[in-house]
Amino acid sequence: MAAESAFNLGELVRDKAPLLSATLKDFVAEGASVSAVTYLDALKLRLALQDELERFLARFDAIITPPTTGEAPATLEQTGNPTFCSIWSLCGVPAVTIPVGSGPRGLPLGLQLVGRKGKDGELLSAARWCEGRFPFPGWRKSHEPPRPPDEAEQGKGPLRVGLIGAGKFGSMYLAQAKSTAGIHLAAIADLAPARASEALRRTGWPESQGTAASLPDALERGTTFITDDAPP
């Protein structure tokens, strides 16, 4: 993963270094030192891991794991220890985290669910089911599971998604989202907008998809707003 980050983000680190965290810059530097032979060996291992994970997940709705080693961090400098997340990114499978309690400092504790590759909708359904059975103050007031959506709710339209970063792993999501029913890719925030446009093209989206002039325009026309900043 470090080697791929160096390949995909090296130019970004060179051009936008003051805007990036030391953790990301160190990770890219680590990847730049990986030899071609080591990287190719790692790709073989990843294929074997992906195949084994697919066989395992075929028997279940989802895998449940902790998302990190403890409660949420006290600051916004990082999202926590990635030990329980990196493997799913490596395998290219969807994962979602829901809050289920509080830690010693009163900060949220999460539950991570992991699904089969390309089965994002099934994973979200499983997460919604779990969410109704883990009451979390300020998040869900009732112990009862959420009721099924009525016709009015079903008519509210697709799930609107904003993607942060269109590099290697962002592109993997774009390839999946294109064929996932009920999803509208409303925005992509990337420090290199041209790369985001190219990622859309490369993953098979129509040329008109990334033409929205603003987020409201994207929501109105069903297209995607590409920006180098968080849309308002």
| Residue 136 sits in the same domain as residue 68 | yes
| Residue 118 sits in the same domain as residue 166 | no
Spell out the long-range contacts of 145-153 with Cβ–Cβ below 8 A and sequence spacing 24 or more. none
User: Given this model, what pLDDT does residue 161 score?
Assistant: 78
Q: Are 112 and 65 in contact (CB under 8 A)?
A: yes
90, part of any domain: yes
| Residue 140 sits in the same domain as residue 171 | no
User: Given this model, what pLDDT does residue 145 score?
Assistant: 47
User: Given this model, what pLDDT does residue 2 score?
Assistant: 87
Q: At 37, list the tokens.
A: 């032979």
| Residue 141 sits in the same domain as residue 198 | no
User: Given this model, what pLDDT does residue 148 score?
Assistant: 47
At position 41, the amino acid (one-letter code) is D
| Residue 106 sits in the same domain as residue 131 | yes
Dihedral angle of Cα 85, 188, 18, 79, to the nearest 10 degrees: -30
| Residue 133 sits in the same domain as residue 183 | no
Cβ count near 40 (within 10 Å): 10
Burial degree of 218 (CB within 10 A; 0-12, 13-18, 19+):
buried
139, part of any domain: yes
User: Given this model, what pLDDT does residue 169 score?
Assistant: 63
39, part of any domain: no
| Residue 139 sits in the same domain as residue 161 | no
119, part of any domain: yes
User: Given this model, what pLDDT does residue 47 score?
Assistant: 94
Domain of 183, in residue numbers: 157-232
Number of structural domains (the chain) is: 2
From CA 140, how far away is CA 150, in angstroms rounded?
Answer: 19
Q: Please list the pLDDT of the chain residue by residue as tens digits (232 residues).
A: 889 888 888 888 888 888 888 888 998 999 999 999 999 999 999 999 999 999 888 878 888 888 888 888 887 777 778 888 888 999 999 999 988 777 788 888 888 889 999 899 889 988 888 777 666 555 444 444 444 444 334 455 677 777 878 877 678 778 877 777 777 888 888 888 999 999 999 989 999 999 999 989 998 999 999 998 754 4
Q: What pTM was computed for the model? A: 0.56
The DSSP result for 141-176, as a single string, is --SSPPPPP-HHHHTT-PEEEEEE--SHHHHHHHHH
